[in-house]
Structure 1
């Protein structure tokens, strides 16, 4: 009987020890799962933040020209926004503000009618990066340009007419501006 009792005590101690070990392993697994969930949520928010792209054309409705102005002080405002992932483009100011540091691609198109000077430049923080120009074409004129830029969070990109020039737009969206994040840095 004593031997049976001793054997039972040993089994109980062994089971108790095994139970304690399982509880420790269970707590470690809970901690690991919590850390993995936090990491997953972090990666999902980073992925969402990296979704940056916009495309807009000058006229929201109707047709007509913008310009000419003797002195151009502000950005062209593209009001017909077809995409604005990441909300970097502001259709009230015409300015794209980089939501995160990265390498971006921008492109813009401009259209003019016969005999009118058309000239537009793309700016990064008030510095010209590239331009298009057509000096009074004999037929309607179109021009486009694009550029890859490294931007810091908060950098601003926009286009401006040159003095004494103009662009035309209608529902076909001849004059437009867009860009997207290639990859974050």
Structure 2
């Protein structure tokens, strides 16, 4: 912009010098023309500077808008992933055996994971941890042999919610129970074998634990 201004002044100055050599030149008029051109050049520079600043501001707005849009899309994608929560697992990964009896209650750890969408169930601890607040459905099954007592409870943060029970059946016995629970983030769900009771499982996965998110809250 400064270079443009200097070139304009140089051209006009040259014309003025040429005019001075002429007998018909009006020095006062030529000086006024020069001042007028100088003013117009200055306004042009100011306008150009304003346009450049506005263009820079516009680029910043566009950049920020793109970042916000990308952030919203990422959050929406994560929310959609978080809404997909479901798991199902059998008690034994392989083999055949009884769990229990024990003098104390025992948390059942289901090792044969059929599905674990959302990775909310931990097969190392037997605990499901709610990733989002919502309404969840849980179902658990137990199997025992004749003459043995089976009793299993479903716990929410250590508190019993519902149970299944079979008192020394004459032959093999199955029992199940289910419940819908409202969970907050990080609420913990597990099943617990009562003290002095047994539960049985084999590759058919008679004893199992499942749950899924019905809808978020």
In 2, the alpha carbon distance for the partners of 1:37 and 1:69 equals 55
Q: Kindly provide the CA deviation profile for residues 71-114 of structure 1, in whole angstroms up to 9, marking residues without a partner as x.
A: 22x41111111111111111111111111111111110000111
In 2, the alpha carbon distance for the partners of 1:52 and 1:180 equals 6
In 1, the alpha carbon distance for the partners of 2:158 and 2:65 equals 49
TM-score (norm 1): 0.81
Structure 1: 5+ residue stretches without partners = 1-19
Alignment of 1:48-87 (within 5 A): 48-72=81-105, 74-87=106-119
Partner residue in 2 for 1:167 = 199
- Tell me whether 1:47 sits opposite 2:80 in the alignment: yes
Partner residue in 1 for 2:25 = none
Match for residue 180 of structure 2 among 136, 148, 173:
148
Partner residue in 1 for 2:31 = none
Paired residues in the alignment total 169
> Shift of residue 149 of structure 1?
0.4
- Tell me whether 1:38 sits opposite 2:71 in the alignment: yes
- Between Structure 1 and Structure 2, which shows a larger proportion of strand residues? 1
SS of the residue corresponding to residue 43 of structure 1 reads helix
Larger relative contact order (CA 8 Å, sep ≥ 6): 1
- Between Structure 1 and Structure 2, which shows a larger proportion of helix residues? 2
Runs of 4+ in structure 1 deviating by more than 4 angstroms, as ranges, are 26-34
- Tell me whether 1:131 sits opposite 2:163 in the alignment: yes
> Shift of residue 36 of structure 1?
3.5
In 2, the alpha carbon distance for the partners of 1:101 and 1:31 equals 31
TM-score (norm 2): 0.69
In 2, the alpha carbon distance for the partners of 1:140 and 1:98 equals 34
Q: CA RMSD in A?
A: 2.4
In 1, the alpha carbon distance for the partners of 2:194 and 2:74 equals 46
Structure with higher Rg: it is 2
> Shift of residue 35 of structure 1?
3.8
